[in-house]
A and B are shown apart, each in its own frame.
Chain A
Amino acid sequence: MDHRIKAGLLSAAFLAATAISIPEAGAEGYPDKPVTLIVPSGAGGSTDTAARILAINIPEHIGQPVVVVNKKGASGSIGINFGLKAKPDGYMLMTGMIGGHVLYPATNLSAGYSPEDYTPIAMTQMNPNVLVVNAESPYKSLKDLIDAIKAKPGALKFSHVGAGSIHFFGAHLMMEVTGLDKTDAIGIPYKGGKNAMAGLLRGEADFHQTNLVSAIDYIKAGKVRALAVTTKQRLEEFPDVPTYAELGYPDVDLFGWRGVIGPKDLPADIVQKWAKAVEETMNRSGWKKMVNAVGDVPNYMGPEEFAAHIDKDYKRFRKMAEKLDILVK
């Protein structure tokens, strides 16, 4: 084929492709074109997988395809900063996650955003936290562990995934409510929950408060022992493990979550439309199984409840960050 003909065909194809994708403005009848869902983490991670599960299942309920775009980096803040700059027309939303949307701005003054800068739409799933110790350790209960920490302040260590992570706050919250000082146990930061768990198995750390998904197989395999969970009720899988509330510490009720979040000033009708679509999607058969595969538990919260939850978490973690001197300028 002549090169020029080829070039002509290709440029024609290019023009055709552009013409199709030119968006038509219109507030009524939202959405009339695909919605982009920014995932502020890398492809393949659990946040990404959760987002893709939603993106596959929700189109029937929202009426348009949902396109997942990954923007990872700096605890999610790069993707979130990007998503927050989107026009509040409902065509660019993002996957919400406790780390990037709450913990990062709560511990980082230069994050560039706070919960006031976004619109919570709906929480889709939660991830309970569980306090674990090495199965070979002598600590059979939370009390054993607390006594051991008290006996030798500064000797015991816990693994977490970085100052300002939920693992970090979880361990410190446990220490705070049980009357321990923040220096009574030393935190060791690891890259990711699985590495932090490996640190516990290796004996580098003595305890570890983590999300259930990271711990579940290790508990089942008998390699670690669960001492307490942060849920209101005991977990189905582990009926023997007490809740923090039962042990007298109801304030240790933190859990990880994922959901859908939009930019600031997102019109209320779009928020409601999405919240309804999310709720319907979550009622689909097989949804629980898919969410469980990522290690989460389905947990719907509508816009108001979700916003209140975020606000509560943000405030308490900011306060803790100041107390623990991990607030980054």
Chain B
Amino acid sequence: MSDNRSAGTEAPVSGTALPGKPEPGQPPIDIDTPTYRGDVIAAALCLGFALIVYFLVIPAQVYVPRAFVGTANSPAFLPKLICILLAVLSAVYLLNSIIAIRREATQGHARMSDWAIAGGMVAICLAYVGGILALGLPLASAACVAGTIYFFGERRYVLIAAIALILPALLWYFFVKVANILLPEPGLEILGDGSAPGIGMAAIVSVMQAAGQIAGQMAGLS
């Protein structure tokens, strides 16, 4: 972790430009060093997120009782306010980053392999969740801890196997026997009681409903 930050973190508020263009063919930068390119992407994502939440998610997912419609006490009032604030801030962030990009030369890229490793770790996280849902917590944890240690570069297989065996066993004993906590049963029941669709479906359905409502209103207005 280096504290040397490449140009790119300051600009948004102060607008100060740093002198001297980076040399071409500069060495790759750390994965957690911000770049203006990254700033542009992040700002655009935040802006898009704010707009989607404001126009699509809030109408579908926040129920406003009749008595509260249009007041500061409506359950949707603060979410909307925060979305507007987020949109404005992201727009400023986006503009600042675009200006900075035009003024500066390229800042180098993080190694693609770094991104691949980070992606691999994210994949392990997702696989772990899937594993818990499919196999239950102890088995998935045994597989996950072994896989992660291997992924981190450990090659002493006896050690890996020992950890994969002992850790979930100890945890099982502590949580189930000492702390009286029921470990999750394999299955997808947590995502709804059967009548409710899963996370992805619920989100898609509600967003589509909202889009339909908005389209309907606009059609009605014109």
For residue A17, CB closer than 8 A to chain B, the reply is: yes
- Please report the C-alpha to C-alpha distance between residue A69 and residue B63 in the assembled complex, in whole angstroms: 33
Residue of A nearest to B173 (CB): A17
Q: Which chain B residues border A137 with CB–CB below 8 Å?
A: none
Question: Pick the contact of A4 from B162, B169, B180 — CB < 8 Å?
Answer: B162
CA distance A165 to B117 in the complex (A): 50
Determine how close the nearest CB of chain A comes to the CB of B38; give it in whole angstroms: 37
Provide the residues of chain B in CB contact with A11, threshold 8 Å: 165-166, 169
Question: Which chain A positions have C-beta within 8 A of B181?
Answer: 69
B179 nearest CB neighbor, chain A only = A69
Which of A248-256, A292-300, A308-316, A321-329 is the interface stretch?
A321-329
Contacts of B170 in A (CB 8 A): 10, 14
**Cβ-closest chain B residue relative to A69:** B180
Is B182 interfacial (CB-CB < 8 Å)?
yes
A10-34, CB < 8 A from B: 10-11, 13-14, 17, 21
Given the known interface contacts A14-B172, A14-B173, A69-B182, the answer about A7 and B65 at a Cβ–Cβ threshold of 8 Å is no
B161 nearest CB neighbor, chain A only: A7
Interface size class of A (residues with CB under 8 A): 20 to 34
Name the interface residues of B38-79: CB closer than 8 Å to any CB of A: 63, 65-67
CB–CB A10/B65 < 8 A: no
Answer whether residue A68 sits at the interface, using C-beta atoms and an 8 A cutoff.
yes
User: In the assembled complex, how far is the CB of residue A253 from the closest CB belonging to chain B, in whole angstroms?
Assistant: 28
Task: Specify which chain B residues have a CB less than 8 angstroms from the CB of A68 in the assembled complex.
Answer: 180
Residues of chain B contacted by A328 (CB below 8 angstroms): 63
Interface hits, A67-121 → B, CB 8 Å: 67-69, 81, 85, 110, 112
Cβ A112 vs Cβ B193 within 8 A? yes
Which residues of chain A are within 8 angstroms of B166 by Cβ–Cβ distance?
Answer: 7, 10-11
Q: Does A3 contact B (CB under 8 A)?
A: yes
| CA distance in complex: A323, B63 (Å) | 17
B154 interface residue, CB < 8 Å from A?
no
CA distance in complex: A11, B193 (Å): 37
Taking the complex as formed, is B177 at the interface, i.e. its CB lies under 8 A from any CB of chain A? Answer: yes
Secondary structure at chain B's binding surface: helix, strand, loop or mixed?
Answer: helix
What mask results when residues 177 to 198 of chain B are scored 1 for a CB within 8 Å of chain A, else 0? Answer: 1001110000001000100100
Is there an interface contact between A325 and B162, defined as CB atoms closer than 8 Å?
no
Candidates B63, B66, B67, B182; contact of A329 at CB < 8 Å: B63
> Contact check: which of B67, B158, B172, B182 meets A325 at CB < 8 Å?
B67
Contacts of B189 in A (CB 8 A): 85
Verify A326–B182 contact, CB threshold 8 A.
no
**What are the residues of chain B within 8 A of A325 when measuring CB–CB?**
65-67
Interface string of B150-176 (1 = CB under 8 A from A): 000000001000100110011011000
Contact B180 A67 (CB under 8 A): yes
Q: Which of A7, A17, A326, A328 has the most CB of B within 10 A?
A: A7
Chain A residues, Cβ within 8 Å of B196: 110
A10 and B169 form a contact (CB under 8 A): yes
Task: Give A41-58 as 1s and 0s: 1 = Cβ < 8 Å from B's Cβ atoms.
Answer: 000000000000000000
**Chain B contacts of A7 at CB under 8 A?**
162, 165-166
Contacts of A329 in B (CB 8 A): 63
Task: Determine which of A4, A14, A112, A326 lies in contact with B65 in the assembled complex, contact meaning CB atoms within 8 Å.
Answer: A326
Q: How far is the CA of A36 from the CA of B182 in the complex (A)?
A: 10
Q: How far is the CA of A294 from the CA of B148 in the complex (A)?
A: 48
Task: Contacts A3-B162, A14-B173, A325-B65 known; list 5 others, CB within 8 Å.
Answer: A4-B162, A11-B166, A14-B170, A17-B177, A67-B180
- Can you list 30 A-B pairs, Cβ within 8 angstroms, ordered by A? A3-B162, A4-B158, A4-B162, A7-B162, A7-B165, A10-B166, A10-B169, A11-B165, A11-B166, A11-B169, A13-B173, A14-B169, A14-B170, A14-B173, A17-B173, A17-B177, A21-B177, A36-B182, A67-B180, A68-B180, A69-B180, A69-B181, A85-B189, A112-B193, A325-B65, A325-B66, A325-B67, A326-B65, A328-B63, A329-B63
A-B residue pairs, 10 tightest by C-beta: A14-B169, A112-B193, A7-B162, A69-B180, A10-B166, A11-B165, A325-B65, A329-B63, A67-B180, A7-B166
